[in-house]
Amino acid sequence: MIADLHMHSTASDGLLDPLELMTEAASAGVSLVALTDHDCLDGLPAAAQAASELGMHWVSGVELSAQWQGHTLHVLGYGFDPQAPALMDSIEAVKHGRWQRAEQIARKLDGKRMPGGLEGAMAAQIAAGGDPNSPPARPHFADWMVQAGFVRDRAEAFRKWLGAGKLGDIKQHWPELAEAVAQIRGAGGMAVMAHPWHYGFTRSRLRRALKDFAQAGGRGIEVVNGQQAVEQVAYLGKLSEEFGFLASCGSDFHTPESPWTALGRMTALPPQCTPVWDDPVFSR
């Protein structure tokens, strides 16, 4: 059985719409699937219907951004009720915050004689196949800056204007880690920490984050993210055992152009791990 529990559609920053994504997942041999868009549930109804028509077992999914001690972490939610009002409200609030952030970036760039950024970034987002109802993000601003001739390429846009510590690096306010976990659990779902290796934490900081996550009610960690190095997977597998976490795996697919995150193609879960799908949340 191939389980792929981490992927993105056009409802966030993926290239394929939910129907295309489920079709590709099914033809890659995936039999248990979750769509996990960033801070967005909009793709779930179409994905659920497509998955069932294609004969895949489907669970609701999402990838929430959360803050923990000044760092941004990602929390995967599975098997929650996508109509739960509290969860929908907090996701709506985050979306509103993203629009405000996009407007603020545009204002800052306007102050540096680069007018029209919001419209430009929105057009770049649509040109890239993105959802016109979701706020544009920094890569869209970068594309617009290239097209408008303010910079030569995306790299220069980030180096001069949008990258860490630069003018357009506006911090978004995310819910606290414990709050993100509570939102998922409150909607009847399971919270799983996404790609623990990718935060660049020292081992002791990672342990502190996992301890706080467990205390908040987090049930699992993503032991396998795409075609992750076997040594990293082994280490995360050990951590999952040590903390009593269930183990999740997913491709983190965004676009067919990246061979390292192809749908259904992941490093194997270590055999001693207990997979998340053993939990009743996955058999509702």
Nearest position to Mn ion, beta carbon: 74
DSSP E strands in the chain: the ranges are 2-4, 30-33, 57-58, 61-68, 71-78, 190-193, 220-225, 246-250
- Please state the closest distance from residue 114 (CB atom) to Mn ion, in A: 25
When asked if residue 138 is in the footprint of Mn ion (CB under 5 A), the reply is no
Among 59, 62, 74, 174, binds Mn ion (CB under 5 A): 74
Stretch that binds Mn ion, among 10-18, 129-137, 174-182, 260-268 (CB under 5 A): 10-18
Using rule CB under 5 A, residue 13 touches Mn ion:
yes
Q: Please say which residue, 63 or 131, places its beta carbon nearer to Mn ion.
A: 63
222 binding Mn ion? (CB under 5 A): no
> Over the Cα atoms of the chain, what is R_g?
19
Least CB distance from residue 203 to Mn ion, whole Å? 20
Which residues are registered as beta bridge partners of 65? Answer: 74
Q: Is residue 131 helix, strand or coil?
A: coil
DSSP character at residue 199 = G
Find out whether 207 and 221 touch, Cβ atoms under 8 Å: no
CB of 15 to Mn ion, least distance (A): 11
User: Shortest approach of Mn ion to residue 12 CB, angstroms?
Assistant: 6
Instruction: Return the percent helix, strand and coil in the chain, to nearest 5.
Output: 45, 15, 40
Please give the residue ranges that form the binding site for Mn ion (CB under 5 A): 13, 63, 74, 194, 252
